[in-house]
Structure 1
Amino acid sequence: MTRFSHRAALVLCLLVSGTAFGNDHLVSITVPDLSGLAQGGQTIFEANCSSCHGVAGGGTEQGPPLIHIIYEPSHHADFAFVNAIRNGVRAHHWPYGDMAPVEGLTNAGIQAVIAFVREVQVAHGID
């Protein structure tokens, strides 16, 4: 390939990768009837997580959907959520950038958030 061809190919790849996600990654979420623990987690999630992950975990232009097969328990166990909340996480599945730690959540609050996410996942066939 010529130098021009390499640049054209690179530009095409960047354009495709930048638009490959578009809004296609956003998930329409219906929140099921939740346990008491998950109801508390929903409140905490909405206050601390929804600006990036969507009101019910369906994703936004700032962050990925958590109600997605990538976050099923066999791939991202509950500890992965604890670790991400406590320490932040480097981007590795989505093109959003790194997640910063979430300050001020108690262990009980984190467990409630996880219960919320997991119950919504199960309602959408992710378990």
Structure 2
Amino acid sequence: MKRILFVSLLAAFLWVGCSESKSFPSGPAPKAPAELAKGEALFNSHCARCHGEGAKGTNRGPTFLSKIYEPSHHGDAAFQLAPQRGVRAHHWNFGDMPKIEAVQPEEVNEIIGYIRWLQKEAGIF
């Protein structure tokens, strides 16, 4: 009986977690404050084609407005390494992310600031 209850609770948890992490927010991206304009512009030129306007995701890449990408799960270092090394698909079925050699580490810091702000606006953390 305990095993059935455990399996049922685990299945419910996974279903809720998966359904939450795959939902894409609707509506326009919020207007970023002036101090994040550079990060927003860099995100739009280097990341948005796959990760969508306002980091909402596309059919080519995941949303960053997900608990999966909050700082306690994917810290800033993970975002810094992604364009340097590429990323093997592990949370989503979009395929591997290639290296993005055109973006420099200092620029990634600007992008991270913009993404973290979007996440806060979306109530991720």
TM-score by length of 1: 0.75
The answer to whether 1:88 aligns with 2:86 is yes
Mapping for residues 17-56 of structure 1, pairs under 5 Å: 25-28=23-26, 30-36=29-35, 38-56=36-54
Q: Pick from 110, 120, 126: which aligns with 2:108?
A: 110
Structure 1 position 85, deviation (Å):
1.4
Q: Pick from 58, 70, 75: which aligns with 1:77?
A: 75
Distance 1:33 1:98 in 2: 29
Distance 1:50 1:33, change over 3 A: closer
Percent same amino acid at aligned positions? 36
Q: Pick from 53, 58, 61: which aligns with 1:60?
A: 58
RMSD: 1.8
Distance 1:67 1:44 in 2: 18
Residue type matched to 1:90 in 2?
R
Find runs of 4+ consecutive structure 1 residues off by over 2 angstroms. Answer: 24-30, 32-35
For structure 1, the 5+ residue unaligned runs are: 1-19
Equivalent residue, structure 1, for 2:14: none
Equivalent residue, structure 2, for 1:5: none
Equivalent residue, structure 2, for 1:15: none
Aligned length: 105
Which one has the largest radius of gyration? 1
Q: Please say if residues 61 and 94 of structure 2, whose CA atoms lie closer than 8 Å, have aligned partners that are also in contact.
A: yes
Residue type matched to 2:100 in 1?
V
For structure 2, the 5+ residue unaligned runs are: 1-17
Structure 1 position 67, deviation (Å):
1.1
TM-score by length of 2: 0.77
Q: Please say if residues 41 and 112 of structure 1, whose CA atoms lie closer than 8 Å, have aligned partners that are also in contact.
A: yes
